[in-house]
Amino acid sequence: DGTSNVLAGRYFKIPVVGTHAHSWVMSFPDETSAFSTYAEAMPKNCYFLVDTYDTVNGVKNAVEVGRRLRAQGGELLGVRLDSGDLAYLSIETRKILDEAGFENAKIVASNNLDEDVIKSLRAQGAKIDVWAVGTKLVTCDDQPSLGAVYKLSAVKDKGESEWTRVVKVSEQSFKTSNPGILQVRRFHENISNNGNADGAGSNLRYFADMIFDEELLSSKNSGWTIVDPTDFTRRKLVEADCPYTDLLKPVFRKGKLIQDLPDHHQARAHALEQMKGFHEGIRRILNPHQYPVGLEIGLNDLKTELILKARGLENEAAGKF
């Protein structure tokens, strides 16, 4: 893991990695001269960008310089492919490197990579060791903006002891907010490495998230009912003794920070660990399985009641609004 952004490396302590640019090669009379000069400057960290003129010839030039570098005590660590048919070129590059005795040299790929391109290249048998993802990562290409708006879910005036639940109603149901002192409960089970729920030496497997009101939720011996907010007839039942974790933690109280915030390394490690808890069918890129997320039935009923009240239909049947 690393970044080619030097400022990110400085601010966030991310290892700085990368290769030279095409402009480096273009500033020399020929590619071999560019590689040789770079090898002199970076004998212990030598990756060559090989597609400035012709990729296959560039790999052969990298091998030539790599042999001289090895004789001087250095080592060719790898090459980078930045254009063309990355699947085909990586396979050809691997052959050239292996035949020349550089079996440990890595092949780095770049060029507008994203998860779909990477999946396709892997399916084609590409011999790529390192994925240099840049543009699509830092620009959030699929969704460059976050469609989120700050709303209230409960209000309380000074001196009052009780919260008043509020809801923002919309003509578009997905924009209607949830009322209450909200918390998210993630239910899980213990799954062993062989997929059996045996408890010993097991990992967590998440299977449902339930949004609920902390002050209105009561202990239920009969279990929990989670209602799909997009279809009230779809419900998931969870046994009362099912283990869970409540996810939301207060960060500020009365304008003051009340807990230490994780740095980006800790946050990343936590996110990766959490991802392991979801079934691979949920994590797949194409046609993923839908992970159940919904409202606790009491909160769902309260939300429906407040929507009807806001529309002046509190005395009408729920099916009419």
The domains of the chain, with CATH numbers, are 6-138 (3.20.20.70), 154-320 (3.20.140.10)
Q: Is 81 helix (H, G, I), strand (E, B) or coil?
A: strand
Q: What is the pTM of this model?
A: 0.80
What is the DSSP annotation of 271-298?
HHHHHTTS-HHHH-SSSPPPPPEEEEHH
Per-residue pLDDT of the chain (321 residues; tens, 9 = 90+): 788 889 989 998 899 888 999 999 999 999 999 999 999 999 999 999 999 999 999 999 999 999 999 999 999 999 999 999 999 999 999 999 999 999 999 999 999 999 999 999 999 999 999 999 988 888 888 888 888 889 999 999 988 889 999 999 998 888 899 999 999 999 999 876 554 444 333 488 999 999 999 999 876 678 999 999 989 899 999 999 999 999 999 999 989 999 999 998 999 999 999 999 999 999 998 899 999 999 999 999 999 999 999 998 876 544 443
| Helices and strands, counts by H and E, the chain | 10, 14
What is the structure's pLDDT at 129?
97
What is the structure's pLDDT at 316?
59
User: What are φ and ψ of residue 145, in 5° steps?
Assistant: -130, 155
Query: What stretches of the chain adopt beta strand conformation (E)?
Result: 46-49, 76-81, 106-109, 130-131, 154-155, 164-165, 182-191, 203-213, 224-227, 235-238, 244-246, 252-253, 256-257, 293-296
- The amino acid at residue 131 is W
Q: Which residues contact 93 (CB under 8 A, 6 or more apart)?
A: 50, 55, 56, 59, 79, 81, 107, 127
CB contact at 8 A, 12 and 36: no
Distance of alpha carbon 8 from alpha carbon 138, whole angstroms = 12
What is the structure's pLDDT at 159?
85
What is the structure's pLDDT at 315?
66
Distance of alpha carbon 296 from alpha carbon 212, whole angstroms = 5
Nearest to 152 by CA among 177, 173, 171: 177
Q: Give the number of other CB atoms < 10 A from CB of residue 197.
A: 10
What is the structure's pLDDT at 203?
80
Distance of alpha carbon 262 from alpha carbon 259, whole angstroms = 9
Structure-token match 């046609």, residue found? 287
What is the structure's pLDDT at 199?
39
